[in-house]
Amino acid sequence: MQKRKLGNSGLEVSALGLGCMTMTGGYGARVNRPEMIAVIRGAFERGVTFFDTAQIYGPYANEELVGEAVAPFRGRVVIATKFGFKYEFDNGVPRSAGVDSRPATIKTSVEGSLRRLGMETIDLLYQHRVDPAVPIEEVAGAVRELIQAGKVRHFGMSEAAAQTIRRAHAVQPLTAVQSEYSLWWKRPEAEVLPLLEELGIGFVPYSPLGKGFLTGTITPQTQFGESDLRSRIPRFAPEAIENNLALVRLLTAMAERKQATPAQIALAWLLAQKPWIVPIPGTTRLARVEENIGAAAIALTAGELGEINSAAARITVQGERYPEQLEKMTYL
C-alpha cells in the first residue's frame, strides 16, 4: 500500500484508509462484532494504517470496536475519532441530542474516547460538526490544550466552511479536514480544497463511493430498511437513482477500459486530484477492502481524467445528499 502525508503535518498514513462507521450500524442492522474485528485486522494485514471512527457512531460502540480490533498493532496505525455531539439517555441508551463543542465538553469527551479506544493519545481528533454556539477559536484553543497535555496529536475538522477552517487554523494548526467528496458531491472544490492547499492541510474524503452508489450495486429497485440512513436521503429515492445512474455508467465505461471496477475508478479519480487527499471508504466486507485497496494501483492519465471530468460535468445529480435537518449542520 502506498503512503501519503496529510498536508504539511508530516502525519503519514496509507493512501486509502478505512471508515468504520457502518460496522456498528448506519446502513442497516448491527453487524457481527467478531466479523468486524476480523475486517479491521484484515485491512491492516493488507496495508491499511488509517482507521476512522467517532463517538457518535453507535454511539460509543464504534470506538470500543476499533479499540479492540487494533489492540495488537495499535502503535503502527493512525486512529482518528471525533467529538462534538451531546447525548441524552433513553433507558440507558445514549442518543444524539445535537451539537456541543464547549471546551469542558470536549475535554470530558476525549477522556471517554481514550478509554474506549484503549489509547493514551488520540492520533487525529476532529470536531465532527461546527457548533454555532461556540466560537471556533475556543474549540481550537481547547484542542490545543489537549495537544499540549499529550492527549491528542493532531487536530482536524469535519464538514466546516472555509472561513471557519481558517479561523481555527490560526489558533491551532489543522492537520486534516474531513468532508464528503466524490464524483457526485464536489462542493469542496469551490472553496475548501483551495484553502487547504494554501494552508498545507490534508483532506480526508468520507463517502468517497457515494454511500455505496458509485459501486454500481444500487438500482431503483433497491430497498433500504428503516434503520438505513439512505432510506431518508433524497438522493436515494427511486426516481433520483434512475437519473443518477448516468454517473455509474460513466465509471463502468472507464472501468472496462482499465480492467477495474466502478468503485476503483471512483477512488482512483479522488486519489488523482491531490497528493494530500486520503479517502476513507467504509465497508463491512474484507472483499470490498481488497477491491478498494486496488484503486491505489490504478493510474488515470491526464486524458482519462479529462474524459471523466467532462462527462461528469454534463450530468446533473438529482436529490439532496442529506435530509434537510442534517444538511443544515454542514459548512458552518
pLDDT per residue over 175-204, tens digit each? 999 999 999 999 999 999 999 999 999 999
Q: Catalytic residue at 87?
A: no
For residue 163, being part of any structural domain is answered with: yes
Would residue 261 count as lying in a domain?
no
The pLDDT assigned to 82 comes to 98
pLDDT at 94 over 80: no
Structural domain contains residue 286: yes
> Does 310 fall in a domain?
no
In a domain, 325, yes or no: no
**pLDDT, averaged across the chain:** 96
Is residue 215 in some structural domain?
A: no
What pLDDT digit, counting tens, does each position of 230-286 carry? 999 999 999 999 999 999 999 999 999 999 999 999 999 999 999 999 999 999 999
Which residues contact residue 225 at a Cβ distance below 8 angstroms, ignoring those fewer than 6 apart?
Answer: 28, 29, 231
pLDDT attached to residue 30: 66
Three-state DSSP at 138 gives helix
> Which pLDDT value is given to residue 268?
98
pTM of the model: 0.96
CA nearest to 164, candidates 15, 324, 329: 329
pLDDT value at position 95? 74
Among 57, 126, 181, 206, the active-site one is: 57
31 pLDDT tier (thresholds 50, 70, 90): confident
Domain count, the chain: 1
Q: In the chain, how long is the greatest CA-to-CA distance?
A: 57
pLDDT at residue 88, rounded to an integer: 82
Half-sphere exposure of 4 (CA within 13 A, CB side): 24
Residue 233 covered by a domain = no
Would 264 be classed as within a structural domain? no
In what helix (H) or strand (E) does residue 250 lie, and over which residues does it extend? helix 238-258
In this structure, what CATH number is given to the domain that contains residue 41? 3.20.20.100
Interval 60-81: pLDDT, tens: 999 999 999 999 999 999 999 9
pLDDT at residue 156 tops 90: yes
Q: Containing domain of residue 81, as a range? A: 3-209+273-297
